[in-house]
Amino acid sequence: MNIEEVGIIGSGQMGNGIAHVCALSGYKVVLIDIAEEALNKAMQTIEKNLNRQVQKNKISQEKMDEAISKITTNTDSKALKNVDLVIEAATENFDLKVKIFQGVLEHIKKDCLLSTNTSSISITKLASTTDRAEKFIGLHFMNPVPVMKLVEIIPGIATTDEMFETSKQFAESLGKVVAVSKDFPGFLSNRILIPMLNEAIYALHEGVGDIKSIDTTMKLGMAHPMGPFQLADLIGLDTCLAIMNVLYEGFSDTKYRPCPLLVKYVEAGWYGVKSGKGFYDYSSDTPIPTR
């Protein structure tokens, strides 16, 4: 199982970050999205983030130019015909992901490997909707992808050992460190992280403390690089809610119920950094707490 060319579906914050690290590690990348505009925005983000690395002397200008030249973008899945591995990084929605894989299967090589960057949806269930469950795996990158060292690998029940080993080698070839999780709701990372963020939102909702106090508590008291509200805004409140719902439904346990205040923010379209407003308002240079 040799990987030279990677197809990435979805050019949002995770997809463009994955394209960034793959191209920087020498892989040819085909980045797919439904809208040309989204792809242009993704390429601008990749350039901006590669530039940061050049400015900080982490990579040379030559390496940056080489990485950019390795990425092609397309709105048509036909462009995936030569890829060796697909990484799906679309929105956290099961039906959408199934539809994407169905659209991809008719164009890819017979031995092309499949993976998803889902942060909580069952790998086994997604794999079973394809024609190659044994070559299907969860490759869960962390945001911001160029910075965070972890890739969580989640084999489904049908994933072969060979597929697991290839995926592990692939993640390590990107300079990442691997942690392995069994395929249960939220896997390891989000089973622990997202209920913590949800609990912070409950503390706010119940008036135990305001956003600033809660974020300061976790940053200065527990040495977290970001407070829970900053982090929830970075991940996206819609994603946080989707993951809480997967935990709630997957374990049928009320301890995972999403905080009504989180639901309210998502209903308002206040998704966090990506929409310009979440628990903080990002319309000025310094983010301002919304309560």
Residue 124 binding ligand CAA, by CB under 6 A: no
Q: Which of 152, 167, 181, 198 is catalytic?
A: 152
- How is residue 249 written in tokens? 């439904």
Residue 52 binding ligand CAA, by CB under 6 A: yes
Of the pair 26, 144, the CB lying nearest ligand CAA is at 144
- Least distance in angstroms from the C-beta of 64 to ligand CAA: 11
CB 156 within 8 A of CB 133: yes
* Position with the least CB separation from ligand CAA: 119
Mark whether 20 is an active-site residue: no
- Selected binder of ligand CAA within 129, 143, 160, 173 (CB under 6 A): 143
Residue 16 binding ligand CAA, by CB under 6 A: no
Mark whether 36 is an active-site residue: no
Of the pair 207, 223, the CB lying nearest ligand CAA is at 223
Mark whether 152 is an active-site residue: yes
Mark whether 40 is an active-site residue: no
Considering only the stretches 52-60, 78-86, 104-112, 274-282, report the one whose residues sit in contact with ligand CAA under the rule CB under 6 A. Answer: 52-60
- Selected binder of ligand CAA within 53, 115, 166, 167 (CB under 6 A): 53
Q: What angle do CA 278, 98, 32 make, to 5 degrees?
A: 70
- Selected binder of ligand CAA within 39, 190, 271, 273 (CB under 6 A): 190
Of the pair 177, 226, the CB lying nearest ligand CAA is at 226
DSSP the chain: ----EEEEE--SHHHHHHHHHHHHTT-EEEEE-S-HHHHHHHHHHHHHHHHHHHHTTSS-HHHHHHHHHHEEEESSGGGGTT-SEEEE---S-HHHHHHHHHHHHTTS-TT-EEEE--SSS-HHHHHTTSS-GGGEEEEEE-SSTTT--EEEEEE-TT--HHHHHHHHHHHHHTT-EEEE--SSTTTTHHHHHHHHHHHHHHHHHTTS--HHHHHHIIIIIH--SS-HHHHHHHH-HHHHHHHHHHHHHHHT-GGGPPPHHHHHHHHTT--BGGGTBSSEE-SSSS-EE--
- Selected binder of ligand CAA within 7, 22, 28, 49 (CB under 6 A): 49
Residue 175 binding ligand CAA, by CB under 6 A: no
Of the pair 144, 260, the CB lying nearest ligand CAA is at 144
- Least distance in angstroms from the C-beta of 126 to ligand CAA: 15
Residue 115 binding ligand CAA, by CB under 6 A: no
Q: Cα torsion at 75, 6, 109, 36 (round to 10°)?
A: 0
In the block, which residue shows the tokens 């072969």?
160
Q: Which of 49, 115, 117, 190 is catalytic?
A: 190
Residue 43 binding ligand CAA, by CB under 6 A: no
Restricted to residues 54-83, the positions that interact with ligand CAA (CB under 6 A) are 56
List, by residue number, the catalytic residues: 119, 140, 152, 190
Interface ranges with ligand CAA (CB under 6 A) = 49, 52-53, 56, 119, 142-144, 146-148, 189-190, 193, 225-226, 231, 235, 239
